[in-house]
Amino acid sequence: MTWTLALPELVLAIAGLVILVAGVLPKQETFFPVSMACIGSLLLAAVLVLGQPEGTALGGHYVADDFSGFMKLLAIGGAAIGILLSLDYNTKEGLGRFEFPLLMLLATIGMMVMISANDLLSLYLGLELLSLPLYVIAAFNRDSARSAEAGLKYFVLGALASGLLLYGSSLVYGFAGTTNFDRLADAFSADSGVTAGVVVGIVFVIAGLAFKVSAVPFHMWTPDVYEGAPTPVTAFFAAAPKVAAIALLARVLVGPFGDLAGQWQQVITLVSLGSMTLGGFAAIGQRNIKRLMAYSSIGHVGYALMGLAVANDVGLRGLLVYMAIYVAMNLGTFAVLIAMRRKGRAVEQVEDLAGLGRTDLGTAVWMAVFMFSMAGIPPLAGFFGKLYVFLAAVQAGFWTLAVVGVLTSVVSAYYYLRIVKVMFFDAPAGALDPAPASLTVVMAASGLFTLFFVLWPAPLLAAAQAAAAALLG
Amino acid sequence: MIAALAFYLFAAILIASAVMVVTARNPVHSVLFLILAFFNAAALFLIAGAEFLAMILVIVYVGAVAVLFLFVVMMLDIDFARLREGFQRYAPIGAIIGGILFLELLLVLSGWSFADQADDLRLSPNPGASVTNAAALGRILYTDYVYLFQLAGLILLVAMIGAIVLTHRERAGTKRQDIAVQVARSGSVVLEEVPVGAGIKALGIRRPPEPEAEPPKVTHDAHHGGHH
Amino acid sequence: MDGFLSTPIGILAITIAQTLALLVPVLIAVAYLTLAERKVLAAMQLRKGPNVVGPFGLLQPFADALKMLMKETIVPSGANRFLFILAPMLLFMLAMLAWAVIPVNDGWAIADINVGVLYLFAISSLGVYGIIIAGWASNSKYAFLGALRSAAQMVSYEVSMGFVIVTVLLCVGSLNLSEVVRAQQNVWFFIPLFPMFVIFFISILAETNRAPFDLPEGESELVAGFFVEYSSMTFALFFLGEYANMILMSALTTILFLGGWLPPVAVEPFTWIPGPIWFALKICLCLFVFIWVRATFPRYRYDQLMRLGWKVFLPFSLVWLVITAAVLKLTGWLPA
């Protein structure tokens, strides 16, 4: 038996069950200890991922390689910091129930399953295991109509996306007679070619996954869900699940459908173009900063997918580096947003940040770092993320993508810089409450990463290079 | 011949009842037609030789899921006339979308071909006459597919947690039975022998306990006395 | 003659004959179960019970049936006529349908199918529809409340019943009811699986809506529950359906735990008695306990009922299932 290969998932799942029982038994609320236990088990899983050998296991449904290791570490890190971010917010908003971190933990198992999927079936089950907890935590603030709406909207559209994905998978299965990725790759590399039906199937699969990464034209749920869900949940949504879904998309397209790259490259190119454009322009008019971040995340997915559209090792390396940097700066930004409270009440308008430079210089400086980085101003990390994908696109001759990417970066710089302007040059709207320690730590950590990535980019690049090679090899 | 006849009979009823699920005016009738559809699907499974699936379909979907469905539909006061308000207006758009999808499907299926080794790769649902359905399913479900099986279990667990998180509320002021407390009380509660004819007052039990200072109620007393 | 019997029509004729041979005794048993219940209850309450119609009141069931038939079927205004009439028929029909797979003796089942246990479980879980439909179609709040209670109760107890059945199946290694009985050749399952036997018996009390779990018909608060609006033959069908279900569930208990048609010990005087007689005797024993329980216990409160089902029986049967599986695996008794 080779089940030991899936040790990180197994350990995490068992830890989740143990924590569930331990959390439900005591009479009083166990939010804090359960959160800590969840973070602890995520760290343990991360260590296990680091020590994971390569190979396929469990009837060929599970694969572990450099790519899965890289993406899993990102997803686990995003999830652990997501739980950390929720500690203070949930307690203050009366959402401090132990199921919250537990659902995040279970969603993380789903992400890891997705990332390690080597079969259409494990892909689908991982996706559902990720999605279901997300629907629930989106509606976690059940007394708020907006939160309930966010959960419901996400659920209905998510179910539709799952349906599309399954339909596409069934077409692919009908053609090849198998759902295993390796066998699928064999079937598609045969000379007999593929029929229109399989291409339609692949397009359906891409549509289902594009929904999860909130890429245009399957982005409609994003602003409403990001706005309605409790802010730590939004932070979580914008980080970990996106990594997992992008990883899945990359693995499916490059792995089994690798020989059909000509078919799906145009789809991904279109999706990327659409996402970049929409992310650039639609965010301009937003007053609610969570909505703004929603459009911003759509735009970032567009840039990341540019790397996938190129579909060679440079492009994939760009994609991986982009996702790592995106997760880091996004978590930092959301740490600032979660810290936005005035007189104990959470505020989420752009104007509420007015004059932050004068009332709370530390937070304002970190926020400015993140905004500059997201806009792609050198020498911050965000610049390098964009640099690598643009580079790949230009080298491979995808000029349209590169040009549109640069133009939309300029457009999106407008709204990122507007936030900086509001913070430092507008009249103060009243001081915000001081940020709790857990948030300051996250802000500082991701801020330092964003600032000093330029000095020491080699490890990340090397890891991304190895991961991309594993995926293509 | 009989099997073919049965197949067409069940398939026809299945499709007809599926259509009725969508078109029935009364939501309760819709659910009942859904149940009929499940039944006929189970019958089709039986004809295909998948008796285990057929029974599980009836037990799980008809016996449990549809019951809850019926519950909800009966409890909710759904105004179907209002739900159908836009039907006329949206029908053409729906028809166009449906038509396009249908044409696409035709395109896809007309040019359909299979990969070279597709037939060899497909798993045979029934390994042979000597192994029953349930055993055959169990053999692959707990070996080749154990990973997926456990994942499905985890998904169901998440669904359960989610349902509890989103709906369970601790209401203030509800009285709960604590059986442990009740049982522990048995030593302090004793049966007393009451002399025939004595009221509980004679035993020194006052229920409800006497108020500490009784306000004088002169007029009331007078009235009371005359009442009997 | 042989040729005729193997034609489709011949097979049909044989099946019909078999069905009649099984259902007629069952129906007579249902009729006399109503009398038996009244007699047993009367004895337990130091009364005489029905003793006017025929010797010892033996013709009482027929008198009752005749009376029911003579009355008018009243369909309340506002009721859904079709469903209103359908519900009692459904309930009664299901109670009869289930007998198709019951083996009364070695090889004596109308349909000896591989998934007999699941078939029985499926049929018994459908019974809830008769009740829900009756409650809803009556267009009366008492009936509807009774139906809701009953449906929730039946669905709840099916869960633990399912686990009990799975435990038995683990010890048998087959879903075939005849196999279940044959596996009890050495020891009846109620001995090694005694706690499951108790849970199963209590669950079938709840499943058939019998005392002390007869809340759906709670006379005191719901008048008579889901069949409050029914009269004459439609009412009689509910009544007969309930008793037929009791017999069916007793038969199931007998097969799963009491060794079906097998004699208690396979030695001379016991083996003279044919299997069907043993089967019937065991069913009678179960039915007596049904009535005994009714005479003894007061009715449960609704929250207690739900608590018992979900918080006691479900975890307990789950744990016992795991223990049974572990014991079978460790001792190597697991059937192939």
Strands A62-64 and A55-57, how do they pair? Answer: antiparallel
Do residue B64 and residue C158 have CB atoms under 8 angstroms apart? yes
Paired with A342 in beta bridges are A345
Which 3 state secondary structure label does DSSP give A53?
A: coil
pLDDT at position A41 is 95
Q: How far apart are alpha carbons A423 and A426 in whole angstroms?
A: 6
Confidence of residue A5 (pLDDT cuts 50, 70, 90): confident
Identify the pLDDT of residue A216.
84
Q: How far apart are CA B150 and CA B142, in angstroms?
A: 9
pLDDT, tens only, B143-176 = 888 899 999 999 999 999 999 998 888 777 777 7
Q: Does residue B129 surpass a pLDDT of 90?
A: no
Residues 121-140 of chain C with CB under 8 A from chain B are 121-122, 125-126, 128-129, 132-133, 136
Look at residue C6 and tell me whether its pLDDT is greater than 90. no
d(CA C188, CA C182): 10
Q: What average pLDDT does range B105-133 have in this prediction? A: 71
Q: Residue C279: which residues within 8 A CB-CB, separation 6 or more?
A: C104, C105, C251, C254, C260, C261
Q: Name the pLDDT band for A274 (thresholds 50, 70, 90).
A: very high
Contact between A177 and B152 using a beta-carbon 8 Å cutoff: no
Name all chains with 3 or more CB-CB pairs below 8 Å to chain C.
Answer: B
Quick: pLDDT tens for B23-70.
887 888 888 899 999 989 999 988 888 888 898 899 888 888 888 888
* Per-residue model confidence as pLDDT tens digits over A324-366: 999 999 999 999 999 888 888 888 888 888 888 888 888 899 9
**A27-40 per-position pLDDT tens digit:** 888 899 999 999 99
Of residues B69 and B122, which shows the higher confidence score?
B69
Q: Say if the Cβ atoms of B133 and C136 lie within 8 Å.
A: no
Which residues in chain C (73-102) have CB-CB distances under 8 A to chain B? 83
Q: Do B64 and C125 touch (CB under 8 A)?
A: yes
pLDDT exceeds cutoff 50 at C60: yes
Determine the distance from the C-alpha atom of residue C309 to the mean position of all C-alpha atoms in its chain, rounded to a whole number: 18
Letter string b/e over residues C179-191, b meaning 16 or more CB atoms within 10 A of that residue's CB: bbbbbbeeebbbe
DSSP C110: S
Which run of H or E residues covers position A23? helix A7-24
Predicted pLDDT of residue A43 = 94
Residue B118 C-alpha, separation from nearest chain A C-alpha, in angstroms: 4
pLDDT at B225 over 50: no
What band does C251 get if pLDDT is binned at 50, 70 and 90? very high
Q: According to the per-residue pLDDT averaged within each range, which of A52-61, B33-42, B66-75 is highest? A: B33-42
pLDDT for the residue C286:
92
The pTM of the full predicted model, rounded to 2 decimals, is: 0.86
Q: Report the range out of C1-15, C110-124, C244-258 with the highest average pLDDT.
A: C244-258
Residue B219: pLDDT above 60? no
Whether residue B115 and residue A136 make contact (CB cut-off 8 A), yes or no, is no
Whether C148 and chain B come into contact, CB under 8 Å, resolves to yes
Closest residue to B67, CB basis, from C122, C136, C151: C151
Give the mean model confidence (pLDDT) for residues A250-278: 89
Report yes or no: C299 and C263 within 8 Å, Cβ to Cβ: no
Of B121, B162, B166, the CB nearest to A178: B121
- For residue B224, pLDDT over 50 is answered with no
DSSP B145-212: THHHHHHHHHHHHHHHHHHHHHH----TT-----HHHHHHGGGT-------TT--GGGGT--SSPPPS
Q: How many CB atoms lie within 10 A of CB C31?
A: 17
**According to the model, what pLDDT value does residue B222 have?**
46
Residue with tokens 């390690």: A116
**pLDDT confidence of B202, banded at 50, 70, 90?**
low
From the CA of C303, how many Å to the nearest CA of chain B? 9
> Within 13 A of C151's CA, how many CA atoms are on the CB side?
29
SS3 A353: helix
